[in-house]
Amino acid sequence: MSRILLIYTGGTIGMMKNPETGSLTAFNFDELLSNIPELKLLEHDISTLSFDEPIDSSDMNPSSYVKLASLIEEHFEAYDGFVVLHGSDTMSYTASAISFMFENLKKPIIFTGSQLPIGDLRTDAKENLITSIQLAGLTKLGNPVIKEVGLYFEYKLYRANRTTKVNAEHFEAFESANFPALAESGVNLKINYEKLMKPNMRKEMLVHKSLNDNILVLKLFPGLNFKTLYHIFNTPNLEGLILETFGSGNAKTDPWFLNLIKNLIDRGVHIVNVTQCVGGAVFMGKYATSEELKKMGVISGNDITTEAAVAKMMYLLDKKLGPKVFKTIFETSLRGEMK
C-alpha cells in the first residue's frame, strides 16, 4: 500500500455541477472518498490537500509554483507519491516548472486534470484521477517505478516537461510530439521502462524555490515590423527572451532585425531559439535564415517545448550565470526536457 497525497490547486476537475442551478461550483476535497467511491477500491492510503483558494490555471504564476513546490517538500517524507490536480490550460507550464524546481527527484509527482467537471455524467475526470493515483503508487521491489514529474491525460502518462496542450475540445488534450509516452493505460498499465528517468539515488534531492520571471516569449510572424519589435525589446528589466521561430529555427534576415537581436545579446539578455512547430527541433545553421542567429550566440532550444523553455529560463536566470555558462547549461538536458 502506497501513501499518496492528492493536491488540488484548482481547475475543471475540481468542479461539481449544482443540480438546481446547473452552475459549476468548487468541489470539497475533504469529502473526496464519499463523492468518488471508486477510490475506495484502490489499494492505497490517499490523503488530500487543497489550496486555500483554488486558482484557475490561467492565473497560475511563479509564486503559485513556489507554493505548490513548498507543499510537496513539506510532506515529501510522509508520502510515496503525489498527484496534483490542475487546470489543463497551463498545466504543461506548471508541471514543467516543478520538474526543474525538484532536482534529483526520486518519487512521482503526477499532474492531471480533466476537460469536464468531475460531477459531469460524461466526465473524463474519474479515469484521469484514478489512473494517476495508480501510477503514483506503482512500486517495484519496494521502490517507486516513476521517479519524475509526469502528466497523465486520457490513457497516457507523459514526461511533463515534454507536453503541450493541443486541443481544447477533445479528451486527448495533450501531446508529447518529441518524446514517447512513459505509460499507457488499457486493460493493463503498460510502462515504458526504457524511457523513465533514472535519478542518481545517492544524490540528495534539492528543491529550488526561487524563479526569475523577467522574460518574454515572442512568436515571429511575417510582417513583424521594426517599431513593434524595438518597443518590445526595450522592455525594462528584460533578462531572457524565448524566440519562437519558423521551422527548424529560421528567422528574418533583415539587417534591422538582426541588429535588434545583437543589441539585446550585447545588453546581456539571454535569447533561446525554439520552433513554432508542435514537433521537430531547432537546427541553427541548416539554412542561411538561421546562420546569423547562431553566429551571434543565440541559444539553441533543440526540441524543447515553449512551456519547458519558459520554466528552464526562469530556473536558470535565478542562478546569475555568465552568458557562456548559461548557454552551455541551457543546451544541456537537465530533467529530460530535450534530447
With beta carbons less than 8 A apart as the criterion, state whether 104 and 205 touch: yes
- Reply yes or no on whether 9 is catalytic: no
The CB density around residue 256, as the number of other CB atoms within 10 Å, is 12
The CB density around residue 326, as the number of other CB atoms within 10 Å, is 20
Cα separation, 34 vs 30, whole angstroms = 9
Catalytic residue among 12, 90, 94, 123: 12
Q: What are phi and psi of 19, to 5 degrees?
A: -65, -20
Which residues contact residue 214 at a Cβ distance below 8 angstroms, ignoring those fewer than 6 apart? 237, 238, 239, 240, 317
For the chain, count helices (H), then strands (E). 9, 20
Q: What are phi and psi of 110, to 5 degrees?
A: -110, 125
Active site amino acids = 12
